[in-house]
Structure 1
Amino acid sequence: MSNRGAFVPSDYGSFRFVGIEVDEASGAIDFSYELAGADAATLPFAERIMLALPDDGRNAEWTAARDILPLLGAVLGLSYYKAAAPPRYEIAVDGLTDAGAIFLREALRHGLAEFAYRAGLPALLETEVVVTGARGEARASADLPVERLHRPLAPVGGGKDSVVTVESLRLAGLDVTQFSVKPNAIMRRVAEAAELPFIAADRRIDPALLELNGRGALNGHVPVTAMNSLIAVAQARLLSLGPVVMSNENSAAEPTMVWNGEPVNHQWSKSLDAELLLAAAIEAQTGERGGYFSLLRPFTELKIAGKFAATDRYDHAIVSCNRAFRLSGAEPGWCGECAKCQFVFLVLSPFMSRERLVGIIGTDMFETPALVDGFASLLGIDAHKPFECVGEEAESTVAMSLAARSAEWGQSAVVRAMVERAPELLDGDPALEASLFSDREAPTIPAIYSSARNVLGARS
Structure 2
Amino acid sequence: MTAQPETSETLAALRTRHPRFIYRSYHLSRSGDALKIGFEFETEPGIIFHPDLTIPGIAPSTWEQCPPEVLNNLAFHLGLMEIPSYWKATCSPEIVVEAGPLDEWQRTWWTDLLINGMTEFFYVNRIPFTAPDFVTIRASHPGTAAPPIWPRDAQRSGSPGRILVPIGGGKDSIVTIETLKKHAVPFGCFSLNPMGAARDIVRVSGCRADHVITRRIDDTLLRLNAEGYLNGHTPFSALIAFLSVTSAVLLGYRRVAVSYERSSNEGNVSYCGREINHQYAKTFEFEQKFRAYAATYLAPDVDFFSFLRPLYELQIARLFARLTPYHAIFRSCNRGLKQNVWCHNCPKCLFVYAALFPFLEPDAMRTIFSEDLFAREDLAQTAFQLLNLAEQKPFECVGAFEENIAAFDLSIRKLRAAGQPLPPLLRLVEAQILRNGTDPADLADPTDHGWRVHPLLTSWNEQHALPEELAGWLRAELDEASQ
With structure 2 as the length reference, what TM-score do the two structures score? 0.86
How far is 1:456 from its partner? 3.3
CA distance in 1, matches of 2:102, 2:165: 25
CA distance in 2, matches of 1:343, 1:254: 15
Conservation of the 8 A alpha-carbon contact between 1:309 and 1:348? yes
Whether 1:13 and 2:34 are equivalent positions in the alignment is no
Whether 1:375 and 2:383 are equivalent positions in the alignment is yes
Where do 1:315-334 residues align within 5 Å? 315-325=327-337, 327-328=338-339, 332-334=340-342
Where do 1:69-108 residues align within 5 Å? 69-96=75-102, 100-108=106-114
C-alpha distance 89-323 of structure 1, shift in aligned 2 (>3 A):
same
C-alpha distance 222-74 of structure 1, shift in aligned 2 (>3 A):
same
- Alignment match, 1:272: 284
C-alpha distance 377-44 of structure 1, shift in aligned 2 (>3 A):
same
Between stretches 91-100 and 167-176, larger displacement belongs to 91-100
Whether 1:413 and 2:424 are equivalent positions in the alignment is yes
CA deviations over 1:146-196 (Å, ceiling 9, x no partner)? 953211110001000110111111112211101101111121011111111
C-alpha distance 444-323 of structure 1, shift in aligned 2 (>3 A):
closer
How far is 1:429 from its partner? 4.1
CA distance in 1, matches of 2:126, 2:428: 36
- Alignment match, 1:115: 121
C-alpha distance 128-119 of structure 1, shift in aligned 2 (>3 A):
same
CA distance in 2, matches of 1:271, 1:138: 29
- Alignment match, 2:6: none
User: Of 215, 220, 223, which residue of structure 2 is paired with 1:211?
Assistant: 223
Conservation of the 8 A alpha-carbon contact between 1:307 and 1:459? no
Conservation of the 8 A alpha-carbon contact between 2:88 and 2:230? yes
How far is 1:294 from its partner? 0.5
What secondary structure is seen at the aligned counterpart in 1 of 2:42?
A: strand
How far is 1:365 from its partner? 0.7
CA distance in 1, matches of 2:156, 2:312: 31
CA distance in 2, matches of 1:348, 1:97: 47
C-alpha distance 42-124 of structure 1, shift in aligned 2 (>3 A):
farther
How far is 1:382 from its partner? 3.1
How far is 1:289 from its partner? 4.8
- Alignment match, 2:206: 195
- The residue type paired with residue 311 of structure 2 is F
Which one scores higher on RCO, CA 8 angstroms, separation ≥ 6? 1
Whether 1:42 and 2:52 are equivalent positions in the alignment is no
- The residue type paired with residue 175 of structure 2 is V
CA distance in 1, matches of 2:187, 2:110: 30
How far is 1:441 from its partner? 3.2
- Alignment match, 1:3: none
Question: What is the number of residues matched between the two proteins?
Answer: 446
- The residue type paired with residue 188 of structure 2 is T
C-alpha distance 339-138 of structure 1, shift in aligned 2 (>3 A):
farther
User: Of 445, 464, 469, which residue of structure 2 is paired with 1:443?
Assistant: 464
What secondary structure is seen at the aligned counterpart in 1 of 2:305?
A: strand
How far is 1:200 from its partner? 0.4
Whether 1:155 and 2:166 are equivalent positions in the alignment is yes
Q: Structure 1: which 5+ residue stretches go unaligned?
A: 1-5
What secondary structure is seen at the aligned counterpart in 1 of 2:165?
A: strand
State percent identity of aligned pairs: 26
CA distance in 1, matches of 2:136, 2:272: 20
- Alignment match, 2:317: 305
- The residue type paired with residue 375 of structure 1 is A
CA distance in 2, matches of 1:383, 1:227: 30
CA deviations over 1:294-319 (Å, ceiling 9, x no partner)? 10111110111111112212111101
CA deviations over 1:50-107 (Å, ceiling 9, x no partner)? 00123x6544465455433332211211100001001122222224455543432222
Conservation of the 8 A alpha-carbon contact between 2:310 and 2:462? yes
What secondary structure is seen at the aligned counterpart in 1 of 2:77?
A: helix
C-alpha distance 410-200 of structure 1, shift in aligned 2 (>3 A):
farther
What secondary structure is seen at the aligned counterpart in 1 of 2:336?
A: helix
CA distance in 1, matches of 2:475, 2:430: 34
CA distance in 2, matches of 1:89, 1:401: 48
User: RMSD between aligned alpha carbons?
Assistant: 2.6
- Alignment match, 2:403: 395
Between stretches 12-21 and 450-459, larger displacement belongs to 450-459
- The residue type paired with residue 173 of structure 1 is A
Whether 1:223 and 2:201 are equivalent positions in the alignment is no
Conservation of the 8 A alpha-carbon contact between 2:157 and 2:252? no
Whether 1:132 and 2:166 are equivalent positions in the alignment is no
Conservation of the 8 A alpha-carbon contact between 2:253 and 2:302? no
CA distance in 1, matches of 2:266, 2:301: 27
- The residue type paired with residue 92 of structure 1 is E
Conservation of the 8 A alpha-carbon contact between 1:87 and 1:124? no
Conservation of the 8 A alpha-carbon contact between 2:166 and 2:173? yes
